[in-house]
Structure 1
Amino acid sequence: MPAAEGHQEYIQKKINPILENLVTQLLLERPEDPVPFMIQWLSDYVLTSISPSSRIASPRVITQSHTPAPAGIQGAAESSSAEVTRLQSEVDSLRAYGNGGANGGFTLFDRYVKQLESKQAELEAAASKSLPCAPSTTTKGEEDSADEDSSDEDDEEDVVDELPPVPANYHRRGPRASVSAEAYGDWNKKRTDFVAPVHPKSEEQAARIRSVLSQSFLFMSVDEKSLDVVIGAMVEKVIEPNQRVINQGDDGDVLYVVESGELDCYKKLPGEEEEKLVKTCTEGDTFGELALLYNTPRAASVQARGRCVVWQLDRETFNHIVKEAAASKREKYETFLKSVPLLESMDSYERSKVADALRTECFKAGECIVRQGDVGDKFYMLEEGECTVYKVYVQGQEPKEVMHIRAGDYFGELALLSNDPRAATVKAKTDCQVLSLDRRSFKRLLGPLEDILKRNTARYE
């Protein structure tokens, strides 16, 4: 399929390198609000990684003459004039591109423009002072020596004329060296004969691992059956105090989940001698997952503070179970979300973001999903089953049935919109499966739909 191959090539060459670096930095930094962080990162990425030839000349090209100067006074003057014209064009291009950026342009572009203007002024001065050259009296050997000296001087000039060094704090969020991640979908069919390794564990050990994995965002998409496979494939490892578990830059084939103890993550930034402590992993945290998610070298070093117990999972099991579960979850939820009237105004990208944030919860018939008067911190969409909504209008009286909720309907939004207690009770009429969004994800992802949600609140009255 030529079209599919073309899509794959585009994703691998154009999209993956950017997304890998961006997601890697997000997972390392974990900003409270990722949107400004992503905007800043992409701005920095444009300034440092964009191909200059498509818009502007590179620093090295800017500081060199594009064509050899013709001999003589007229030739030198023509060459200088042409160079001045070219540099003026570069300055205008940079100004136009820089002014298109956020907050009135970028500092790096300002430096670039100043450097071009300085070079332009030097060339104009040189053109105005062009003098006849004295006849050459050097021998062939002297000419060769002079050529070598000239080459050395040119190299030194290149170094001096390059852009000023990028501020040190840029490296904290800048792009890392790209290593292509594995493609998904039809382009990367997984082995159908894969069998995960099994390492025997006691029921108590399996329960401990399950408790730890339930706290990790990486395993949110894994269903109960697949989670049993993951638990069976994990290997217990005891880490002694001050022992290094992984080293920055090494290849990695396993990820770790912390059961007990504390481990410090250190990162050596470009141009710095000492490692910097970036975070501490405690019970329920995972580390080493970036190498498996994006096929990159270890992004940081991890060392135990004291005695620790961790569980390690191999790459192949991770790829077949955890990554596949995440991809399947997105595909499944995106299909369901298309059928939800509330979300019909969203495009596919917006729906995919909602799908990634959803969590599945199951309730038996008769169970209470939300209770009137409770503090609400979740928004629900009913995927399967049927629910009944009850409301108490007068304290001490029996609740009255208000409405029925069926697949594709939503509830629980009132408490999140107004920060008031739950306005009604919702019970499962049949066995139900619901998709939930926490308060923060609700505000972030469904904020644009707030007016629609508020208009529909009358249905509970």
Structure 2
Amino acid sequence: MSYLSHQEYAKLKLQPLINELSISILSKLPSDIESFTLNWLISNQKPLLSIPEQEEFKHLKIELEKLKQGKEGEPEGISSSTSSDDDDYIEDHLIQLPSNKFRTSVSAEAYGQWNKRSDFKPRHIPKTNEQRQRIIEVIDKCFMFSSLEKIEKEVLILAFEEKRFAPGDKVIRQGDDGNELFVVDQGELSCSKVFPHETEERYLKNYTSGEAFGELALLYNVPRAASIVSVTESLCWVLDRDCFNNIVKDAARKKRETYESFLASVPLLKDIDNYEKTQMADALQTVNYVPNEYVIREGEWGDIFYLVEDGEAVATKTMKPGLPAIEVHQYGPGGYFGELALLKGAPRAANVIAKTPLKCAIMDRRAFKRLLGPLEDILKRNASEYEGYKF
């Protein structure tokens, strides 16, 4: 976990922040969102932030100040090399939710009207082996589909429709109704938007292979927030609204239900109320390890908290320099580790190694401090059972 890809970083660090901020905004409905957001970030700043988190906070603060002051020009940090995970951030701040579309969380649409859907029959578009392989390679690079199970991905592969665009083709027009999600396979497409009180489109970024766009209109049932034009000869895989709602959204719903059930079985969390468990469920992500794989290593800096969902792990520690590490603790389902490095801001003091196939629910530092902060005394007290090898 020391070296995170763009997708992992967004999944572990950026998305929980966006979810928490969105909940705060939608619960208060401030008239000045930019000022509210800036104040929210300042008030929620934690003392034990890693260097990357400090840089992230600094960057967000600068951008929000620019928005507040109404400065013109391209948003800083947005370029043709921006990842698809940044796109979610861009479009979340461009989309205007009408008052009758109030949401209690980013994913609230998945738990409301959508649950009343009729029987779903995914479309089946035959694919060649070469097309199937291209789709697999593309969606494996796309953050949006990272939590889908193998069988769900298979449904998507069959449902995707191939669409080709020539240079200059308008793929999405700002203000139009949206019924499709686009995943770029080949080529390059440009995203631009006409902002309020402006007449000219403002360039935002380019989309390339493995990036997706168009999902926000499907999530919130609002018009397209920006326009997309094909810059080169482009090939996109297009997913219809029904499949998106029933497969991609369904995965989010299943994730929440699974984690809520799991969290209810963790003794540490018995005093956490149901709302807090729901917030934790949205913040958690799943990571799998094979036997003998290191989950954390002694001496590394830690910014992840782990809850064991399934399998067993052992903690080992080097008690004396030059001697092999010895086993000092065991973990099974419901067990947890990694909390003390987050509480104390210190390097890991021991290894944790998967003993069997291991499935963990993980939470980053920000979500840990926000959601488990009230349990700090309990966590420190529990540490006494393995005093001397805190990690």
**TM-score by shorter chain over 0.5:** yes
- Is 1:453 matched with 2:379? yes
Partner of 1:442 in structure 2?
368
- Could you tell me how far apart the structure 1 residues matched to 2:114 and 2:171 are? 34
More displaced 10-residue stretch of structure 1: 186-195 or 383-392: 186-195
- Could you tell me how far apart the structure 2 residues matched to 1:221 and 1:338 are? 21
More displaced 10-residue stretch of structure 1: 255-264 or 437-446: 437-446
- Asked if structure 2 preserves the Cα contact closer than 8 Å seen for 1:41 and 1:173, the reply is no
- Could you tell me how far apart the structure 1 residues matched to 2:133 and 2:375 are? 40
- Asked if structure 2 preserves the Cα contact closer than 8 Å seen for 1:248 and 1:299, the reply is yes
- Could you tell me how far apart the structure 1 residues matched to 2:114 and 2:361 are? 29
- Could you tell me how far apart the structure 2 residues matched to 1:439 and 1:262 are? 36
- Asked if structure 2 preserves the Cα contact closer than 8 Å seen for 1:258 and 1:285, the reply is yes
- Asked if structure 2 preserves the Cα contact closer than 8 Å seen for 1:246 and 1:301, the reply is yes
Partner of 1:379 in structure 2?
305
Q: With a CA cutoff of 8 Å and minimum separation of 6, indicate the structure with the bigger relative contact order.
A: 2
1:200 aligned to 127, 133, 144, which one? 127
* Superposition map of 1:44-123 within 5 A: 45=29, 47=31
Calculate the aligned-residue CA RMSD, in Å.
3.7
Q: How far apart are residue 217 of structure 1 and its match?
A: 3.9
1:219 aligned to 117, 122, 145, which one? 145
Partner of 1:298 in structure 2?
224
1:361 aligned to 287, 297, 310, which one? 287
- Asked if structure 1 preserves the Cα contact closer than 8 Å seen for 2:122 and 2:155, the reply is no
Closer/same/farther in 2, CA of residues 419 and 299 from structure 1, 3 Å limit: same
TM-score by length of 1: 0.58
What one-letter code is carried by the residue in structure 2 that aligns with 1:456? N
Partner of 1:391 in structure 2?
317
- Is 1:232 matched with 2:154? no
What one-letter code is carried by the residue in structure 2 that aligns with 1:188? N
- Could you tell me how far apart the structure 2 residues matched to 1:186 and 1:291 are? 15
Q: How far apart are residue 194 of structure 1 and its match?
A: 2.1
Partner of 1:309 in structure 2?
235
Deviations 1:401-452 (A, max 9, x none): 1111111111123343444433222222332221122344434543444444
- Could you tell me how far apart the structure 1 residues matched to 2:251 and 2:201 are? 35
Deviations 1:50-72 (A, max 9, x none): xxxxxxxxxxxxxxxxxxxxxxx
- Name the SS of the counterpart of 2:247 in structure 1: helix
- Could you tell me how far apart the structure 1 residues matched to 2:180 and 2:114 are? 24
Partner of 1:347 in structure 2?
273
- Could you tell me how far apart the structure 2 residues matched to 1:207 and 1:398 are? 45
- Name the SS of the counterpart of 2:200 in structure 1: coil
Q: How far apart are residue 196 of structure 1 and its match?
A: 4.0
- Name the SS of the counterpart of 1:218 in structure 2: helix
- Could you tell me how far apart the structure 2 residues matched to 1:265 and 1:309 are? 16
- Could you tell me how far apart the structure 2 residues matched to 1:457 and 1:280 are? 49
- Could you tell me how far apart the structure 1 residues matched to 2:124 and 2:147 are? 21
Q: Which is helix-richer, 1 or 2?
A: 1
Q: How far apart are residue 241 of structure 1 and its match?
A: 2.8
Partner of 1:121 in structure 2?
none
Closer/same/farther in 2, CA of residues 172 and 326 from structure 1, 3 Å limit: closer
Aligned residue pairs total: 315
Q: How far apart are residue 380 of structure 1 and its match?
A: 1.4
Q: How far apart are residue 303 of structure 1 and its match?
A: 1.7
Closer/same/farther in 2, CA of residues 437 and 261 from structure 1, 3 Å limit: farther
Closer/same/farther in 2, CA of residues 454 and 307 from structure 1, 3 Å limit: farther
Closer/same/farther in 2, CA of residues 395 and 456 from structure 1, 3 Å limit: same
TM-score by length of 2: 0.68
Q: How far apart are residue 299 of structure 1 and its match?
A: 1.7
- Asked if structure 1 preserves the Cα contact closer than 8 Å seen for 2:316 and 2:327, the reply is yes
Partner of 2:98 in structure 1?
176
Partner of 1:264 in structure 2?
190
Closer/same/farther in 2, CA of residues 172 and 436 from structure 1, 3 Å limit: closer
Deviations 1:230-287 (A, max 9, x none): 1232233333333221001212221012334443322223343222334443443321
2:211 aligned to 285, 289, 293, which one? 285
Q: How far apart are residue 328 of structure 1 and its match?
A: 1.2
What one-letter code is carried by the residue in structure 1 that aligns with 2:126? H
Partner of 2:351 in structure 1?
425
Q: How far apart are residue 336 of structure 1 and its match?
A: 0.9
2:115 aligned to 164, 181, 188, which one? 188
Closer/same/farther in 2, CA of residues 432 and 446 from structure 1, 3 Å limit: same
Q: How far apart are residue 34 of structure 1 and its match?
A: 6.6
- Could you tell me how far apart the structure 1 residues matched to 2:288 and 2:15 are? 29
- Asked if structure 1 preserves the Cα contact closer than 8 Å seen for 2:265 and 2:334, the reply is yes
Q: How far apart are residue 331 of structure 1 and its match?
A: 1.0
- Could you tell me how far apart the structure 2 residues matched to 1:173 and 1:246 are? 14
Closer/same/farther in 2, CA of residues 434 and 168 from structure 1, 3 Å limit: closer
Closer/same/farther in 2, CA of residues 46 and 394 from structure 1, 3 Å limit: closer
What one-letter code is carried by the residue in structure 1 that aligns with 2:335? D
- Could you tell me how far apart the structure 2 residues matched to 1:455 and 1:284 are? 46
- Could you tell me how far apart the structure 1 residues matched to 2:176 and 2:158 are? 26
Deviations 1:331-381 (A, max 9, x none): 111111122233333322222222122222223333332232344443211
Q: How far apart are residue 329 of structure 1 and its match?
A: 1.1
Partner of 1:5 in structure 2?
none
